[in-house]
Structure 1
């Protein structure tokens, strides 16, 4: 029987990944459909994908599947044929990464969750059967040119900060469960206007569009395949990109360049920069934006305190970290986590 989870250290897996000669394709997909037994579904999926040397992160729940993976190019067609052999997933849209070196993941992790997107919805009458209308890149651009169209970004602040559609409404929270009721409140009185929702790959804005319809909104659209699919269509069809900057992605790359615009600033010195990093201090790992000069000055850390810590003996580092609740270590709008050396954001 196949091992249903990885038993090799992360360090060894990363080493193997960078020693690989064959190119990989980074792809994401999701689909809302009923899964009667998520654990059985998960185990069968793991066996099939492990055999194809697929790496990545996949969530399975009774409401469907959400996946971000990398596939060896020689196995891509086999992977696609297997995925499409699962009836509810036959023909599911596969979002191919725009800016990709194939080094996005180094291990396969498939987890069973209560939901593929934590939404906080407890209303049993809510259903994903009725959702907003899809729009493609050309339709998105057309709607953006119309007066009265409201564009809503359903991503977190640290995603919005480095790239977004012009004039997009930011919902100022970094948890999707909080954003849903906030979006409804912010849009009160706009129930009959055209509302377009978007996110990274489509999974959050699809659920958000269904939630707005559930709450009485009439003309709700959502960007099919999210920013990832939009960027691909813009490139293929030679359209103008109304999305400016970088698209934050949840893998080792931390971002895909969509346009050359740099709309964010270094959190330490304020210089124009949109490079996300994690603090090098293992006891911190704060996600923040850091320019090259500050990366050198602080040795890849978010503060002098963390910089000093990484030069301590390993045992001392462990002692300092012991018992510390790292919480949600990201720089966000709703819960700014300042460190010495980090400038307060406006």
Structure 2
């Protein structure tokens, strides 16, 4: 019984190109009580592998968080399979605004302690006692209210390329970091202000809304379905779009254009740019913003040192990496000292 990938990303890419079939990039999550995560994980892999589903799925005792790609022709079969699972029946599916057949190239279903790393002790509060979910129209009304505080629950490299007008965008590296900062900054407004939160697809806000209610906030709201669903509703209902720039996504696309505004800059030359790339030096792989001119000049690398290494023969690069741990710069997205125009820490 096959429970893991047998094809490399390159082999899968070639198969996708050869097939010439459209694929849909989808994300969804739900909090639920899953007793045997290993059995559930294997069940998903077996069935989804048969449907040619690709993606990154996290399973934990608290639920499931999935970003994936499925052949368009298999969508109904995939949806029927979800509906056959009690706690996934009619789960909201966020379908990407911009489609890319190569958004994912492997199927990875992994067991995790939590579906989102948050560093919280969930035993101290009820994660199901969440805030009020609002759609795009109500969200637009709320954020125009002077008694509303709008908070971006994403990390700095996400909000750097796109965020809602007038949103508080904490300069943090992790979701957990933002929780205490926001509580401290809004400590005097737990009763008189409406706390409205948003994130990519809603999963972080779901946990945060329960956490802030536990911390004494009386009026807690979250954008239902996150930026992805907001954009769909804005387009389908012809609403005013209050989001500026790109929505960062966690697949090979790295971003979806929501508005024509470019609010970020190239980390190497400072010119307007909102294209995230990974340093071509495999020993670095730093995520940063790079314009086309700098990509050409730097051979898709973040620094002169990485450029020199990347231009070495492949076998020499492997020798340099041998026995060394991966650079922690990959976890400090956009924070490297080599980036002259990086976002401030």
Q: TM-score, normalised by structure 2?
A: 0.96
2:178 corresponds to 1:147 = no
Map of 1:268 onto structure 2: 268
Cα deviation, 1:87-143, whole Å, max 9, x if unaligned, reads: 111111000000112220111110000100111112522221100000100010010
Structure 2 Cα separation of the partners of residues 167 and 39 of structure 1: 43
1:298 paired to 2:325: no
Work out the CA distance in 2 between the residues paired with 1:18 and 1:188: 53
Q: Helix, strand or coil: the match of 2:74?
A: helix
SS at match of 2:337: coil
How far off is 1:177 after superposition?
2.0
Q: Relative to structure 1, is the Cα distance of residues 314 and 31 closer, same or farther in structure 2, using a 3 angstrom cutoff?
A: same
3-state SS of paired residue (1:22): coil
Relative to structure 1, the CA distance from residue 88 to residue 324 in structure 2 (aligned partners, 3 Å threshold; closer, same or farther) is: closer
The residue matched to 2:188 in structure 1 has which SS? Answer: coil
The answer to whether the Cα contact below 8 Å between 1:119 and 1:180 also exists between their aligned partners in 2 is no
Q: Is the 8 A contact 1:58 1:111 kept in 2?
A: yes
Return the offset for 1:266.
0.2
In structure 2, distance between residues paired with 1:20 and 1:338: 43
Residue range with higher mean Cα deviation, 313-322 or 243-252:
313-322
Matches within 5 A, 1:113-128: 113-122=112-121, 124-128=123-127
The reply to whether residue 315 of structure 1 matches residue 315 of structure 2 is yes
In structure 1, the partner of 2:4 is: 5
Contact 2:276 2:287 in 1 (8 A): yes
| Residue 48, structure 1, aligned to residue 47, structure 2 | yes
Alignment check: 8 A CA contact 1:288 1:330 kept: no
RMSD: 1.4
Report SS of the residue matched to 1:145: coil
Unaligned runs of 5+ in 2: none
| Residue of structure 1 equivalent to 2:328 | 327
Give unmatched runs, 5+ long, in structure 1: none
Q: Secondary structure at the match of 2:143?
A: helix
2:168 aligned residue: 169
Matching of residue 99 in structure 1 with residue 89 in structure 2: no
Could you say what secondary structure the match of 1:30 adopts? Answer: strand
Aligned to 1:227: 227
Q: Deviations over 1:174-197 (max 9, x none)?
A: 111222222211221110110111
Matched with 1:36 is: 35
Which of 122-131 and 149-158 deviates more? 122-131
Q: Flag the 1:208–1:149 CA change in 2: closer, same or farther, 3 A.
A: same
Do the aligned residues in 2 keep the contact of 1:154 with 1:204 (CA within 8 Å)? yes
Runs of 4+ deviating beyond 4 Å: 330-333
CA shift at 1:36, angstroms?
Answer: 0.8
Residue 287 of structure 1 corresponds to 287
Report how many residues are paired.
342
Instruction: Give the whole-Å Cα distance in 1 for the aligned partners of 2:43 and 2:36.
Output: 11
- Cα offset, 1:328, TM superposition: 4.5
CA distance, structure 2, for counterparts of residue 95 and residue 313 of structure 1: 42
Deviates more, 1:11-20 or 1:69-78: 11-20
Q: Secondary structure at the match of 2:282?
A: coil
